Chains A and B, each alone.
Chain A
Amino acid sequence: MENLTHTLLAVPLNHYIILSTIIFSIGVMGVLVRRNAIVIFMSVELMLNAVNLLLAAFSVYNGDASGQVFVFFIMALAAAEVAVGLAIIVMIYRNTNSIDINVLNRLKW
C-alpha cells in the first residue's frame, strides 16, 4: 500500500489546485444555472468537497496533519448544514408546493 501510493504521488501541486478550482467553478455554475433548490444544494456540496480535496492535498504536501483534521471538521459542518437546509426545503415545499427558487422571490426585499 505504501509503495503503491509512493509511486503514484508525483503529481505537481498545481494540478491539484487546478482540479479543485475546476470542480469549485462547476459548483458555482450549478448554483447560478439551476432552479431546483435541491440541485443547488448539491452544487454547494460539490464546492465543499473541492475545498476538502485541496486541503488534503496541501496537508500531504506540507507533511502536516492539521489540514486533514480541518477536512474532518468541514465534513461535520456539511452534515449539519445539509440537515438544516433540507429541513428548510421541506418547509418551503409544504408552504408553496414547489421547490423552484423563483417562488421565493418574496425574500428579495
Chain B
Amino acid sequence: MNTFYFIAFLSIFFSILVITAKNPVHSILYLILTFFTFTIHYILLNAQFLAIVNFIVYMGAILVLFLYTLMLMNLNKGSEQPKSNLIKFAAVIGGGCFLITIVAALKAFGASNPVILKDPSLGLVKNLGKVLFNEYLLPFEISSVLLLSAMVGAVLLATKDTKTAA
C-alpha cells in the first residue's frame, strides 16, 4: 500500500518538473520518467497489458517522436521567455480551481471503498483480447482507419509543398 503513495509522489513530482523545466529536452526526459511511474501504477493494478502498451507505445514511440522533432528542428536552445507573473498566477488559480472542486466533491461523498482486484486475470492479455475482439471489434477496426488517416495527414502536412510554396 505504501508503494502506491511513493509512486504517486514520484508521478506528481516529475510532472511538476515537466512543466517547470526551462529546457524542452529536460521536459521530455522528465515526461518519460512520469510515464514510467504510470507504468508502475498499471503493474500495481495488475493491468499487465496496459503496462506493456504504456511502456512500448508511450515511452518508446510517442516520446521518441517528441525528442526527434525537438532535435531535428534544433529547438533546444531554451530561448523561451517566460510569461508574466500575472499569467502564471492566473494559470495556477485556474488549475487549482479544478483540483479544489474535485477534491471537495470527493470529501462530500465521504470515505470510499478500497480498490480490490476481484478477478486476478482482469488485465491480462487473454481476457482483454477476448473483450476487444468480441464487444469492441468495430471500434477496433475504426481505430485502424483513424491511425491510417493520421499517418496520411502527418505526411501531407510535413512534406514541403514546392508548387504552392505556402
Contact = CB atoms under 8 A, between A and B. Distances in A.
B66 A23 contact: no
Contact of A5 (B28, B45, B139): B45
A60 B38 contact: no
Interface string B145-166: 0110111011101101000001
Interface in B75-114: 75, 80-83, 87-88, 90-92, 94-96, 98-99, 102-103, 106, 109, 111-114
Q: Say what secondary structure dominates the interface of chain A.
A: helix
A32 B95 contact: yes
B102 A17 contact: yes
B87 to A, nearest CB: 7
Contacts of B5: 15
Nearest to A63: B118
Contacts of B153: 83-84, 87
B49 A68 contact: yes
A84 B154 contact: yes
Contacts of A45: 31, 58, 62
B110 to A, nearest CB: 9
A61 B162 CA distance: 55
Interface residues of A, number: 76
Nearest to B110: A14
A84 to B, nearest CB: 5
Contacts of B8: 15, 19
Nearest to A12: B112
A56 B31 contact: no
Interface string A34-74: 11101101110110010011001101110101101101110
Contacts of B83: 33-35
Contacts of A34: 19, 80, 83
Contact of B99 (A22, A87, A99): A22
Contact of B95 (A19, A26, A35, A39): A26
Interface of A: 1-2, 5-19, 21-30, 32-36, 38-39, 41-43, 45-46, 49, 52-53, 56-57, 59-61, 63, 65-66, 68-69, 71-73, 75-84, 86-91, 93-95, 99-100
For the complex of A and B, the 8 pairs showing the least CB-CB separation, nearest first, are: A32-B91, A80-B150, A30-B19, A87-B157, A29-B95, A25-B95, A87-B154, A14-B112
10 contacts: A5-B117, A10-B116, A13-B113, A29-B91, A43-B19, A53-B38, A68-B47, A75-B57, A79-B62, A91-B157
